[in-house]
Structure 1
Amino acid sequence: MSNASAVLDGPGSPPAPPAPPTPPRVVQSGPLHGTQLVLGTLALSLATFMNVLDSSIANVSIPAIAGDMGVSPAQGTWVITSFAVANAISVPLTGWLTQRFGQVRLFVASVILFVIASWLCGLAPNIESLIFFRVVQGLVAGPMIPLSQTLLLGSYPPAKAGSAMAMWAMTVLVAPVVGPLLGGWITDNISWPWIFYINIPVGIVAAGITWSIYHKRDPGPKRVPLDYVGLGLLVLWVGSLQIMIDKGKELDWFNSTQIIMLAVMAVVGFLFFLAWELTETHPIVDLRLFSRRNFALGTVALSLGYGLFFGNVVLMPLWLQQYMGYTATWAGMAMAPVGVLAIILSPWVGKNVSKIDPRKLATVAFLGFGLVLYLRSRFNTQTEFSGVLIPTLMQGAAMAFFFIPLQAIVFSGLPPPRMPAAAGLSNFVRITMGAVGTSIFTTVWESRANMHHAHIAESINRGNDAATATLAQLGATGMSPEQGLAMVNRLIDQQAYTLAATDLFYLSSVLFVLMVSVVWLTKPKTGQAMGDGGGAH
């Protein structure tokens, strides 16, 4: 045998036949059906719900976390800020990361790393390690929401893409309401680490089902150069902006040198980022998407609307608990019905978004929000629970008409390869505006309340018969003059903060109505479903 080999391999012998070529990887495509479609939708929705829930679930647990770790509540708020900053940085990277690793691999890896980071957050022995693990959690969470959108849209036929977005929208809208309720209950009845541990079984199930169904639908990784300069500038300006937003109220905004420095870094970093990304051959964020009319105006309408919506979502429970005497449970009950009509109507909106002009559906949402907030602007310190409940219930209907039509406008005409980048970028702007809205609302609320307090307090003097009679009655109950004045001050505070809240509700109502005009500047293709890409498959 060795002699034969020597003869065959010797000089002048014919070359060995080439190795057979590696067969190309078969990538499945097209919509899912039956059980796979149900399980795929469930898994992607679970992952999205877990992600959105985690951005709000820790809010009510900060006092308990700070107390356990022996730090001030102000230091404890970095548990929220660190997640928000990291998440805001990683969301717009979704487009590049999807090309580099493949969307299914990236999504499943994000979910698994999120689970590991959640487990480490629960085990954290001190505030420094908890903040570090929250940064990791925020970074790996970024691609999950945009990719859940694109994977869902690919799972349904274009005609039913609206139904897919209805499922997605329900998880995004309900989770922020459920988060504080669940976080408060877990903190009170178990212990705060369990707000992170509950992610473990949910994430494992979501990752397992997603991989089993979608792994053959992933085109796989592609070598794409990394835009290091763009990434560095993104981290600089987004990080500076997010920290400025989160810490502005606490540090008295532009009376603080730290806030001024952060603002300068955010503005300068953003301008350099803009100039670099628009001239870079392989940008880390595809800003050229904003040259598309529907994407640009749809993202503006979605983001401004979400900022107003989220600012009001944060303001309502604060007002109810701090100045209307509601417990956390009752405030939660007053806000919980918001999901009822959203869940009932979202499937109808999703089914009809490709048949009815999405601008008309979005107009219903903006006018609905305008009506809800106008009703809230009529609140006073005597408003009963039922009076609070009715606008909340109506808000659910507006929410059903909000996300799905606006997402349809944002994605209108986009070819499928650009969908992950578009989803990442539009979600980044939306999430950032949610943070901006929250910060602006809480700051303006306090500022307006101080103004109202000063105006009301001017009339409380010895020349005011009602004020004198009230103080006399309080004195007759055994209160000292100081205690009586403190009680009166508390009543003035209640009036002042209620008037400030109704000011913001009224302003929000007007702004929602005005924003209808932005929606009608878009030109979505009539009858085109989301993800259809105008025939660009």
Structure 2
Amino acid sequence: MSGQAAAPAPPPGLQLRRALPYAAASAILALTQGLGQGFVSVNIPQIAGDLGITATEASWLMAVYMIPRATLPLMLIKLRTQFGLRRFAEVGIVAYLLVSFAAVWISDLRSAVVVQALSGIASAPLSTLAFLYMLEPLGPAWKMRLGLPMALALISAGPLLARVISPALLGDGGLTWMHLTALGLAMVSLAVVFRLPLTPVPHEKVLRPMDFVSFALLSVGFGGVIIACVMGPIHWWTAAPWIGWMLAAAVASLTAVVVIELHRKAPLFDVRWLASPEIVHLTVALFLFRLILSEQSTGAPRMFQILGVAPSQMTGLFAVICLASLLGALACVGWMRAGREPQFHLVALLLVAAGAWMDAQSTIDTRPEQLLVSQAMISFAGMLFLPPAMMAGLGAAMRKGPNYLLSFVIVFLSTQSIGGMLGSGAFSTLINGRQAQHLQLLAEQVPATSPLAAADLAGRMAALAPQIADPALRRAQAVALLAQDAANQAYVMAYNDAYFLTFLISAAAAAALLLHVFRDWLAARIAKPEAESPP
């Protein structure tokens, strides 16, 4: 018999009848957080109208919501470890319920900004709780293979479902019904958290005074980048000097964080590990793919909005996108294994490239039904990419030790939250710039004095004759409609340029991945005979 005690066996998963409630709780928590975020991001014009403010002012609501969502999870991990999982869950969900109740009484921009900032703070624990409730009933072998893809799919489904159900809620009861729906979900989540306790973890004193200094500087840095990405395309980057000053302050704050963490004996996150080739490669891959996926979150919805497509006409498209995301998660459950990340990522990049190329053929007459297949391919690809990448990152962190989990969280948050906002800002900036160029080219190719423009204008005036008797007003209205059609055509051409750029980036990334895999295969083949040769 060995003198050493055998390592304890890992705990098995719960029985199916006990596991299903935890899976349902994970779905409720994920949808509560996702719908709360989606109700704001997809209804900015309606919120602006309800509060009597401009859409530009209403965009601040999204910015102040995303800042704590991007930074707070880092500290929540330490808070959970120091004060206990149970207290963390109960305090987090009670705070979210109170903020959801306060949202019902929003009446102006100031109160809306305050409530949205609090909502971002209070909703930050919900994503973590959704993960924990999905992993809780599963055995070790299934936590990564089943729990991780399904939790990610449920979290990503919330904003998509918000686009599906928002038209019905706004049509029946306006923003009040939207806020009441969020409040109802928060109340259900509260009951779920108190009814289904999570397995407690040992408490450990991990918070240090310098952690709060690093976190404050990190929040300033991330917050500056997020606000600039939201407001830059709206105000235009060079037209508002405060955006440049904010970006400079953000860079200075992030630089200060790196300097502080490099000189700490117990850093909040390990900068040297983050700069290692393996983690840099993972960071670049996550960041690049998040930028690519901005084609779906920023591209098609805004293009259809410009073309006059009502939100209720896009519900079918987003329902298909949501379904494709869930199917992608199921594909990960069936085939995801450690070491298969390159194959998953290659398929995902090829699907995005194919979908973006299909979208690049859009015209002014394109409607959501024509993009069902391409957008479903991109959504499916997104879920094929993220779980294997996250599994690889978590594996790399856990091989170094549990303390490196916070360092990986920094990588994941910066690439997903910051990458998503940066991708949206870059996509919108590209669209605005290309639209202006295309509009100028259209004006040069078809001047107002050309026979083609004169014939089009005459046809529009004839169509307006039964409605407008005054010839001068009729001509002015016809000219305005002609200019609007030209602007819409320029926007579609700009979106096609952005879609085609997404295709080129995805195809180039797929080619680079193939070369990387071939290099690794060649190196392993060369090293094998050397290892087998006798000394």
Relative to the length of structure 1, the TM-score reads 0.84
Gapped regions of structure 1 (runs ≥ 5): 1-27, 524-537
Is 1:506 the counterpart of 2:489 in the alignment? no
The 1:86/1:449 distance shift into structure 2, 3 A limit, reads same
**Does the 8 A contact of 1:59 with 1:180 survive in 2?**
no
Alpha carbons 1:117, 1:133 under 8 Å: kept = yes
Provide the rounded CA distance (Å) in 1 between the counterparts of 2:178 and 2:191: 22
**Preserved contact between residue 296 and residue 378 of structure 2 (Cα < 8 Å):** no
2:232 equivalent to 1:248: yes
Q: Which residue pairs with 2:488 in the alignment? A: 494
Give me the whole-angstrom Cα distance separating, in 2, the residues matched to 1:167 and 1:94.
22
- Distance 1:126-1:489 versus aligned 2 partners, 3 A rule: closer
Distance across 1 between alignment mates of 2:221 and 2:29: 28
How many Å separate the matches in 2 of 1:473 and 1:125? 46
- Among candidates 340, 364, 379, match of residue 381 of structure 1: 364
Q: Is 2:127 the counterpart of 1:145?
A: yes
Once the two structures are TM-superposed, the CA of residue 499 in structure 1 deviates from its matched residue by 0.6
Residue by residue, what CA displacement relative to the aligned partner does 1:267-323 show, whole Å, maximum 9, x if unpaired? 111111111122223334454552455444333322321232134322211111212
In the TM superposition, what whole-angstrom CA distance separates every residue of 1:60-80 from its partner, at most 9, and x where no partner exists?
A: 443444444443333333222
1:10-409 aligned within 5 A? 31-146=13-128, 148-149=130-131, 152-153=134-135, 155-160=137-142, 161-227=144-210, 228-287=212-271, 289-291=273-275, 293-323=277-307, 325-354=308-337, 357-383=340-366, 385-409=368-392
Q: What letter corresponds to residue 238 of structure 1 in structure 2? A: F
**In structure 2, how many angstroms separate the alpha carbons of the residues matched to 1:364 and 1:108?**
41
User: Is the contact between residue 45 and residue 167 of structure 1 (CA under 8 Å) also seen in structure 2?
Assistant: no
Q: C-alpha deviations, 1:221-276, integer Å up to 9, x for none?
A: 53531323212212221222222222212222122121111011011111111111
- Aligned in 2, Cα 1:452/1:272: closer, same or farther, shift over 3 Å? same
- TM-score w.r.t. the length of structure 2 is 0.84
Return closer, same or farther for 1:348/1:77 CA change in 2, 3 Å cut-off. closer
Amino acid at match of 1:428: L
Deviation at 1:374, TM superposition (A): 0.7
1:424 match: 409
Do 1:103 and 1:218's aligned partners in 2 also have CA atoms closer than 8 Å?
yes
Alignment correspondent of 1:19: none
Inter-partner Cα distance in structure 2 for 1:363 and 1:207? 41
Greater CA deviation, 455-464 or 111-120?
A: 455-464
Q: Is 1:451–2:422 an aligned residue pair?
A: no
Partner of 2:419: 433
Which whole-Å CA distance do the structure 2 matches of 1:296 and 1:511 have between them? 19
Cα distance in structure 2, aligned partners of 1:115 and 1:82: 19
Note closer, same or farther for the CA distance 1:293–1:285 as it changes in structure 2 (3 Å cut): same
Q: Which residue of 2 aligns with 1:481?
A: 475
Q: Distance in 2 between matches of 1:346 and 1:373?
A: 21
CA RMSD of aligned residues (A): 2.9
Q: Aligned partners of 2:513 and 2:422: how far apart in 1?
A: 20
Partner letter of residue 86 of structure 1?
Answer: P
Letter in 2 for 1:310: S
User: What residue number does 2:522 align with?
Assistant: none
CA contact (8 A) 1:359 1:520 kept: no
For 2:517 and 2:85, locate their aligned partners in 1 and report how far apart those are by CA, in whole Å: 29
CA contact 2:350–2:507 (8 Å) conserved in 1:
yes
How far apart are residue 112 of structure 1 and its match? 2.4
Query: 2:202 is paired with a residue of what secondary structure?
Result: coil
Give the superposition deviation at 1:481: 3.3
1:36–1:422 distance in 2 versus 1, CA, 3 Å: farther
Report the Cα offset of residue 448 of structure 1. 0.5
SS at match of 2:316: helix
CA distance in 1, matches of 2:392, 2:345: 9
Question: Hey, what does 1:461 align to over in structure 2?
Answer: 447
Cα–Cα, structure 1 residues 321 and 450, in superposed 2: closer, same or farther, change >3 Å?
same
Say if 1:319 and 1:497, in contact at 8 Å, map to a contact too. yes
Seq. identity, %? 17
3-state SS of 1:354 partner: coil
Amino acid at match of 1:450: A
Looking at structure 2, the residues matched to 423 and 153 of structure 1 have their Cα atoms a distance apart, in angstroms, of 18
- Asked if the contact 1:95/1:420 (under 8 Å) is kept, the reply is no
CA–CA distance in structure 1, aligned partners of residues 266 and 238 of structure 2: 37
The 3-state SS of whatever aligns with 1:383 is coil
- Once the 2 structures are TM-superposed, how far is the Cα of residue 150 of structure 1 from its aligned partner? 5.2
SS in 1 for 2:233: coil
How much does 1:133 deviate? 2.1
Query: How big is each residue's C-alpha offset from its partner over 1:380-424, in whole Å with a ceiling of 9 and x where there is no partner?
Result: 223355422221233343233122222222222432734752563
- The one-letter amino acid of 1:474's match is R
Q: Tell me the SS of whatever aligns to 1:381.
A: coil
Residue 512 (structure 1) shift: 1.8
Aligned residue for 1:31, secondary structure, equals coil
The 1:518–1:105 alpha-carbon spacing in structure 2 relative to 1, beyond 3 Å, is: farther
SS of the residue 1:281 aligns to: coil
Alpha carbons of 1:387 and 1:125: their partners in 2 closer, same or farther (altered >3 Å)? closer
Give the letter aligned to residue 203 of structure 1.
Answer: A
What secondary structure, in the 3-state scheme, does the structure 2 residue paired with 1:58 have?
Answer: helix
| Equivalent-residue separation in structure 1 for 2:515 and 2:183 (angstroms) | 44
- Whether the aligned pair in 2 keeps the contact of 1:350 and 1:404 (CA below 8 Å) is no
Query: More displaced, 348-357 or 262-271?
Result: 348-357
TM superposition shift of 1:125 = 4.2
Structure-1 separation of matches of 2:402 and 2:133:
12
Query: 2 CA distance for matches of 1:378 and 1:69?
Result: 38
Task: Tell me which structure has the larger Cα radius of gyration.
Answer: 1
Which has the higher mean CA deviation after the structures are superposed, 271-280 or 153-162? 153-162
Q: Is the 8 A contact 1:297 1:518 kept in 2?
A: no
Partners of 1:281 and 1:151 lie apart in 2 by 34
Alignment correspondent of 1:10: none
Paired residue type of 2:186: G
Residues in 2 aligned to 1:396 and 1:488: alpha-carbon distance in whole angstroms: 36
